Amino acid sequence: MVDGVIISIITFFWLTNIPIAFLSVIRFLRNRSIYIGKDLCQDLCAPNIIFQITTRSATKTSVVKRGIDSIIDSTLNIKYCSYQISIITEDPEDLITLKSSPCDIVVVDKQFATSAIKKARALQYAVESRRRVGRNTPKYWVFHMDDESYVTTQTILSLLKFIRNNSKAIASEGPIFYPLKLESANPLTAIAESIRPFTCYDCVSQMRKKSPPLHMHGSNLLVRSDIEDAIGWNFGPTLAEDQMFGFKLFQKYGQKSMGWHGGVLLEQPPLNMKDHFMQRRRWILGSLQNIHQFPPIHRFKLMYKLVSYSVGFASGIISLILSVQTNILLIMPSSHSISEINNSITTGVTMSLDKILNTVYTQSIIHSLINSVTPLDFGIGSLLLFSSVVWLFSYQFGLFLNLRYSKINWPKRIIFHLQTLAFCPLIGLVETFPAFCAFIEYYVRRQTNTAKKIPTYDFYVVNK
């Protein structure tokens, strides 16, 4: 009876992910031809692009210099000269650190007052700084980068092609891959980052559909300078200022204002488990902070996505407990005889290896399919199997894209793919645990907040 209730709960949780799985496959197939920019050529009448890297400190974050060098090298390869590099920083020491680099260094004034916090505050300061020097005009485009962002020649050519061929669009994005410092990161956080390039196929649709985007990258974002000036970044103390910027831009300028440039940006995964947790936590908390400002339909779609993301942890934990409960007797010795203990150890090792190669979820679903007695059981089992296959494929394909832009040799790449397959159940828990905790944290803080205001959180900066 109890097992039946538990299985029903797991089934319900996993059924909530079915629509997202179908959408993921549809958008993967539909957007694969434009996901990465192609048919690129040099633009003789190139526009002015400001490559803006927003950082807490380039002095303390050495990868900023790597990003600057990537811009210089990539533009030199195609002889593109109509650009500037702007470093927006809160550290005055960067004026000395980057003195020899060909870039403008804008130090955010400590007295600068705005409703935004942390990165959004720095972004707003950058907007007002450009306004003072006359660069917030249709002639200038701003390309947003994070500390660790690394551009390629393909990135530059894709940006120029988009500006040249899209007269109506005033903002666009491209895919982000995570090959940098892949071997230096915690193995689990490196593998967990594999899913992000695959989910970026959904980003193509988010930027091109007839409704506001549910999410938007804060890096690899190209926006016309005067448009960024008109919208600004004063959205209050939110941790997801990029999401709010996309919503406001769509709300003000309509569906044809956004597009997809297809320029690849290379970044790196969180280097440790704490950074991974805090990054995912920030995504959820920021979305929950923003959600009350959205219209009902947009709010429903976003909440559905957030809930399905977070309940994945509860589903995984319940599935794991049920699996252990079901199989524990099979891997433990039934007597104290040496021969039986040895046989049990051998059996246990064999079963453990088998479990590594097959997820708890897929095993349960296949078992349900084989033993289904009604069309309804078979239908539900088929849907759950489809969702699990999409889930496994998303990690494998995303890892392929990450490794494609790395310098890792082929034997190590194969090992990465096998590790991803082996640890998928654990990765699923690592990925969804921050979302699960963030939901609880947000609503507990709202309940204990006597003023009933939207909770405010600090902006945690991950190590680079």
What would the pLDDT profile of 128-185 be if each residue is shown by its tens digit? 999 999 999 999 999 999 999 999 999 999 999 999 887 788 999 999 999 999 999 9
State which H helix or E strand residue 258 sits in: strand 258-260
pLDDT band at 369 (very low <50, low <70, confident <90, very high): low
In angstroms, the CA 242 to CA 120 distance is 8
Average pLDDT over residues 429-454: 84
Mean pLDDT rounded to a whole number for the chain = 85
pLDDT band at 322 (very low <50, low <70, confident <90, very high): low
Q: What is the pLDDT of residues 325-364, one digit of tens each?
A: 555 544 455 444 445 544 544 444 444 444 444 444 444 5
User: Does residue 250 contact residue 271 with C-beta atoms inside 8 Å?
Assistant: no
Whether the model clears a pTM of 0.85, i.e. scores above it, the answer is yes
In angstroms, the CA 38 to CA 231 distance is 31
User: Does residue 178 contact residue 402 with C-beta atoms inside 8 Å?
Assistant: yes
The structure tokens 């982000």 sit at 176
Please give the distance of CA 189 from its chain centroid, rounded to a whole number: 12
Residue 288, pLDDT above cutoff 70:
yes
* Eight-state DSSP code of residue 330: G
Residue 221 is predicted with a pLDDT of 97
Catalogue the long-range contacts made by 12-15 (C-beta closer than 8 Å, 24 or more residues apart). 13/311, 13/312, 13/314, 13/315, 13/318, 14/315, 14/361, 14/384, 14/387, 15/380, 15/383, 15/384
Q: What is the pLDDT of residues 28-79, one digit of tens each?
A: 999 999 999 987 877 656 789 999 999 999 999 999 999 999 999 999 999 9
Residue 275 is predicted with a pLDDT of 94
Average pLDDT over residues 2-16: 63
Q: What is the pLDDT of residues 113-126, one digit of tens each?
A: 899 988 999 999 99
**29/380: higher pLDDT:** 29
Sign of CA dihedral 25, 418, 311, 213: negative
Average pLDDT over residues 4-23: 72
Report the candidate in 47, 54, 40, 55 with the shortest Cα–Cα distance to residue 83: 47
265 bridge partner residues: 151, 176
Report the candidate in 263, 284, 10 with the shortest Cα–Cα distance to residue 143: 263
User: Does residue 226 contact residue 152 with C-beta atoms inside 8 Å?
Assistant: no
Length of the chain in terms of residues written: 464
For the chain, domains (ranges, CATH) are: 2-26+302-448 (no CATH), 36-270 (3.90.550.10)
Residue 367 is predicted with a pLDDT of 53
Residue 264, pLDDT above cutoff 60:
yes
Average pLDDT over residues 208-232: 94
Residue 419: exposed, middle, or buried by beta-carbon count in 10 A (0-12, 13-18, 19+)?
middle
Of the listed ranges 281-290, 292-301, 327-336, 420-429, the least confidently predicted one is 327-336
pLDDT band at 370 (very low <50, low <70, confident <90, very high): low
Residue 6 is predicted with a pLDDT of 58
Residue 188, pLDDT above cutoff 50:
yes
In angstroms, the CA 318 to CA 3 distance is 11
Sign of CA dihedral 88, 92, 97, 102: positive
